[in-house]
Protein backbone atom coordinates (compact mmCIF):
# COMPACT_ATOMS: atom_id res chain seq x y z
CA UNK A 1 0.00 0.00 0.00
CA UNK A 2 1.53 3.32 -1.02
CA UNK A 3 0.66 6.72 0.42
CA UNK A 4 -1.38 7.43 -2.72
CA UNK A 5 -3.49 4.31 -2.19
CA UNK A 6 -4.57 5.32 1.30
CA UNK A 7 -8.13 6.50 1.79
CA UNK A 8 -7.55 7.38 5.43
CA UNK A 9 -4.52 8.41 7.51
CA UNK A 10 -2.44 5.69 9.14
CA UNK A 11 -3.49 5.48 12.79
CA UNK A 12 -0.47 5.80 15.09
CA UNK A 13 -0.16 5.48 18.86
CA UNK A 14 2.92 6.53 20.84
CA UNK A 15 3.56 4.85 24.18
CA UNK A 16 5.58 6.90 26.66
CA UNK A 17 5.65 7.96 30.32
CA UNK A 18 6.04 11.72 29.76
CA UNK A 19 3.28 14.08 28.64
CA UNK A 20 5.77 16.56 27.15
CA UNK A 21 7.19 13.84 24.89
CA UNK A 22 3.75 12.81 23.71
CA UNK A 23 2.69 16.38 23.01
CA UNK A 24 5.90 17.12 21.13
CA UNK A 25 5.46 14.03 18.96
CA UNK A 26 1.98 15.14 17.97
CA UNK A 27 3.14 18.69 17.15
CA UNK A 28 6.05 17.40 15.06
CA UNK A 29 3.69 15.41 12.84
CA UNK A 30 0.67 17.69 12.73
CA UNK A 31 1.51 19.07 9.27
CA UNK A 32 1.16 15.49 8.01
CA UNK A 33 -2.19 14.80 9.63
CA UNK A 34 -3.61 13.90 6.22
CA UNK A 35 -1.18 10.94 6.22
CA UNK A 36 -0.91 9.95 9.91
CA UNK A 37 -3.43 10.32 12.71
CA UNK A 38 -1.57 10.46 16.03
CA UNK A 39 -3.20 8.94 19.09
CA UNK A 40 -1.33 10.09 22.19
CA UNK A 41 -1.04 7.34 24.76
CA UNK A 42 0.44 7.52 28.24
CA UNK A 43 1.82 4.19 29.33
CA UNK A 44 -0.87 3.57 31.92
CA UNK A 45 -3.45 3.64 29.11
CA UNK A 46 -3.59 0.54 26.95
CA UNK A 47 -4.62 1.00 23.31
CA UNK A 48 -8.20 -0.23 22.95
CA UNK A 49 -9.16 1.09 19.51
CA UNK A 50 -7.24 -0.49 16.63
CA UNK A 51 -4.14 1.34 15.39
CA UNK A 52 -1.99 0.57 12.38
CA UNK A 53 1.33 1.30 14.08
CA UNK A 54 2.15 1.56 17.80
CA UNK A 55 5.49 3.20 18.63
CA UNK A 56 7.28 2.51 21.90
CA UNK A 57 9.29 5.59 22.87
CA UNK A 58 12.28 4.62 25.03
CA UNK A 59 12.82 8.03 26.68
CA UNK A 60 14.44 7.50 30.13
CA UNK A 61 14.61 3.77 29.46
CA UNK A 62 17.17 3.88 26.63
CA UNK A 63 16.41 0.42 25.41
CA UNK A 64 13.13 -1.41 24.99
CA UNK A 65 11.74 -3.05 28.10
CA UNK A 66 11.05 -6.55 26.87
CA UNK A 67 7.93 -7.09 28.98
CA UNK A 68 6.37 -3.84 27.72
CA UNK A 69 7.19 -4.67 24.09
CA UNK A 70 5.77 -8.17 24.57
CA UNK A 71 2.53 -6.72 25.94
CA UNK A 72 2.27 -4.29 23.03
CA UNK A 73 2.88 -7.01 20.44
CA UNK A 74 0.31 -9.28 22.14
CA UNK A 75 -2.31 -6.51 22.14
CA UNK A 76 -4.57 -7.23 19.14
CA UNK A 77 -5.35 -3.51 18.83
CA UNK A 78 -1.74 -2.90 17.68
CA UNK A 79 -1.39 -4.10 14.09
CA UNK A 80 2.35 -3.32 14.09
CA UNK A 81 4.79 -2.37 16.87
CA UNK A 82 7.93 -0.25 16.35
CA UNK A 83 10.67 0.91 18.75
CA UNK A 84 11.45 4.67 18.67
CA UNK A 85 14.76 5.55 20.31
CA UNK A 86 17.91 7.70 20.50
CA UNK A 87 19.84 4.48 21.08
CA UNK A 88 20.22 2.72 17.73
CA UNK A 89 22.68 -0.12 18.22
CA UNK A 90 22.61 -3.26 16.12
CA UNK A 91 22.18 -5.59 19.08
CA UNK A 92 19.12 -3.63 20.24
CA UNK A 93 17.63 -3.64 16.73
CA UNK A 94 18.22 -7.38 16.38
CA UNK A 95 16.71 -8.11 19.82
CA UNK A 96 13.60 -6.06 19.05
CA UNK A 97 13.05 -7.81 15.71
CA UNK A 98 13.55 -11.23 17.28
CA UNK A 99 10.93 -10.31 19.84
CA UNK A 100 8.46 -9.55 17.06
CA UNK A 101 8.72 -5.78 16.55
CA UNK A 102 8.08 -4.61 12.99
CA UNK A 103 10.68 -1.84 13.02
CA UNK A 104 13.20 0.23 14.92
CA UNK A 105 13.25 4.00 14.26
CA UNK A 106 15.95 6.50 15.21
CA UNK A 107 14.79 9.74 16.80
CA UNK A 108 17.07 11.60 14.39
CA UNK A 109 14.47 11.02 11.66
CA UNK A 110 12.87 14.14 10.25
CA UNK A 111 9.09 14.36 10.47
CA UNK A 112 8.73 13.42 6.81
CA UNK A 113 11.13 10.48 7.14
CA UNK A 114 9.17 9.27 10.16
CA UNK A 115 5.85 9.55 8.33
CA UNK A 116 7.22 7.60 5.37
CA UNK A 117 8.65 4.89 7.63
CA UNK A 118 5.33 4.60 9.51
CA UNK A 119 3.48 4.21 6.21
CA UNK A 120 5.88 1.49 5.07
CA UNK A 121 5.41 -0.45 8.33
CA UNK A 122 1.62 -0.09 8.05
CA UNK A 123 1.91 -1.55 4.53
CA UNK A 124 3.64 -4.64 5.91
CA UNK A 125 7.36 -3.84 5.64
CA UNK A 126 9.91 -4.23 8.42
CA UNK A 127 11.76 -0.90 8.61
CA UNK A 128 14.88 -0.16 10.67
CA UNK A 129 17.16 2.85 10.87
CA UNK A 130 20.89 2.32 10.26
CA UNK A 131 22.73 1.23 13.41
CA UNK A 132 24.54 4.39 14.47
CA UNK A 133 24.85 3.97 18.22
CA UNK A 134 23.66 7.19 19.88
CA UNK A 135 22.12 9.22 17.07
CA UNK A 136 22.22 12.99 16.65
CA UNK A 137 19.65 15.23 18.29
CA UNK A 138 16.45 16.11 16.46
CA UNK A 139 15.47 19.69 17.20
CA UNK A 140 11.89 18.99 16.10
CA UNK A 141 11.34 16.79 19.15
CA UNK A 142 10.57 17.85 22.70
CA UNK A 143 12.01 16.54 25.94
CA UNK A 144 11.81 17.66 29.58
CA UNK A 145 14.14 20.58 30.29
CA UNK A 146 14.77 21.56 26.70
CA UNK A 147 13.57 25.11 27.42
CA UNK A 148 16.23 25.31 30.16
CA UNK A 149 19.01 24.49 27.70
CA UNK A 150 19.28 20.84 28.69
CA UNK A 151 20.25 18.50 25.85
CA UNK A 152 18.32 15.34 25.03
CA UNK A 153 21.09 13.19 26.53
CA UNK A 154 21.24 15.28 29.71
CA UNK A 155 17.46 15.16 29.93
CA UNK A 156 17.37 11.38 29.92
CA UNK A 157 20.16 11.21 32.50
CA UNK A 158 18.30 13.67 34.76
CA UNK A 159 15.11 11.68 34.31
CA UNK A 160 16.90 8.51 35.42
CA UNK A 161 18.46 10.35 38.37
CA UNK A 162 14.97 11.53 39.34
CA UNK A 163 13.88 7.87 39.23
CA UNK A 164 16.62 7.12 41.78
CA UNK A 165 19.11 5.45 39.44
CA UNK A 166 22.83 5.43 40.27
CA UNK A 167 25.48 6.40 37.71
CA UNK A 168 26.34 2.72 37.29
CA UNK A 169 22.70 1.83 36.62
CA UNK A 170 22.35 4.71 34.16
CA UNK A 171 25.52 3.64 32.35
CA UNK A 172 24.20 0.08 32.05
CA UNK A 173 20.84 1.26 30.71
CA UNK A 174 22.33 3.72 28.23
CA UNK A 175 25.22 1.56 27.02
CA UNK A 176 27.52 4.49 27.83
CA UNK A 177 30.59 4.58 30.05
CA UNK A 178 30.33 5.86 33.62
CA UNK A 179 32.76 8.65 32.68
CA UNK A 180 30.39 9.78 29.94
CA UNK A 181 27.49 9.70 32.37
CA UNK A 182 29.49 11.78 34.86
CA UNK A 183 30.16 14.34 32.12
CA UNK A 184 26.42 14.59 31.35
CA UNK A 185 25.64 14.85 35.07
CA UNK A 186 28.14 17.68 35.64
CA UNK A 187 26.86 19.59 32.63
CA UNK A 188 23.21 19.15 33.67
CA UNK A 189 23.91 20.18 37.27
CA UNK A 190 25.63 23.34 36.06
CA UNK A 191 22.66 24.25 33.85
CA UNK A 192 20.03 23.73 36.55
CA UNK A 193 22.09 25.26 39.35
CA UNK A 194 22.42 22.29 41.70
CA UNK A 195 25.47 20.71 43.31
CA UNK A 196 24.36 17.24 44.43
CA UNK A 197 22.00 14.38 43.67
CA UNK A 198 19.40 15.26 46.28
CA UNK A 199 19.06 18.77 44.85
CA UNK A 200 18.93 17.32 41.33
CA UNK A 201 16.10 14.95 42.26
CA UNK A 202 14.11 17.77 43.88
CA UNK A 203 14.66 19.94 40.81
CA UNK A 204 13.63 17.07 38.56
CA UNK A 205 10.43 16.37 40.48
CA UNK A 206 9.38 20.01 40.13
CA UNK A 207 10.39 20.40 36.49
CA UNK A 208 8.80 17.53 34.60
CA UNK A 209 11.46 14.85 35.02
CA UNK A 210 9.23 12.58 37.03
CA UNK A 211 7.23 10.25 34.78
CA UNK A 212 3.46 10.45 34.72
CA UNK A 213 3.55 6.93 36.11
CA UNK A 214 6.19 4.86 37.90
CA UNK A 215 8.23 3.09 35.21
CA UNK A 216 8.71 -0.64 35.41
CA UNK A 217 11.93 -1.51 37.18
CA UNK A 218 12.85 -4.42 34.92
The residue count of the chain comes to: 218
Closest CA to 14 of 77, 68, 57, 70: 57
Same-domain status, 130 and 174? no
* Mean pLDDT, residues 177-202 taken together: 94
CB atoms within 10 A of CB 160: 23
Q: How confident is the model at residue 67 (pLDDT cuts 50, 70, 90)?
A: confident
**CA gap 26, 207 in Å, rounded:** 21
Which phi and psi angles does 209 have, rounded to 5°?
Answer: -95, 0
**Predicted pLDDT of residue 24:** 85
Same-domain status, 33 and 72? yes
**Predicted pLDDT of residue 171:** 87
Same-domain status, 63 and 165? no
Same-domain status, 73 and 156? no
Same-domain status, 91 and 194? no
Average pLDDT, the chain: 85
Give the lowest-confidence range in 64-68, 115-119, 121-125, 166-170: 64-68
Give the pairing of strands 133-134 and 127-128. Answer: unpaired
In a domain, 140, yes or no: no
Domain extent at residue 10: 3-134
**Predicted pLDDT of residue 218:** 31
Q: What are the residues whose beta carbons fall under 8 Å from the beta carbon of 139, sequence distance 6 or more?
A: none
Same-domain status, 116 and 42? yes
**Predicted pLDDT of residue 37:** 93
Amino acid sequence: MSANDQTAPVRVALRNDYEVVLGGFRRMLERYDHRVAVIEELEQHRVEDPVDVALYDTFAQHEPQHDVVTEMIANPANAHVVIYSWNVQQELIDAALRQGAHGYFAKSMTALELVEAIERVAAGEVVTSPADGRVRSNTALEWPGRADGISDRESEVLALITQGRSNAEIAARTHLSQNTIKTHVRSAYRKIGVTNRVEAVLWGVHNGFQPDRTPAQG
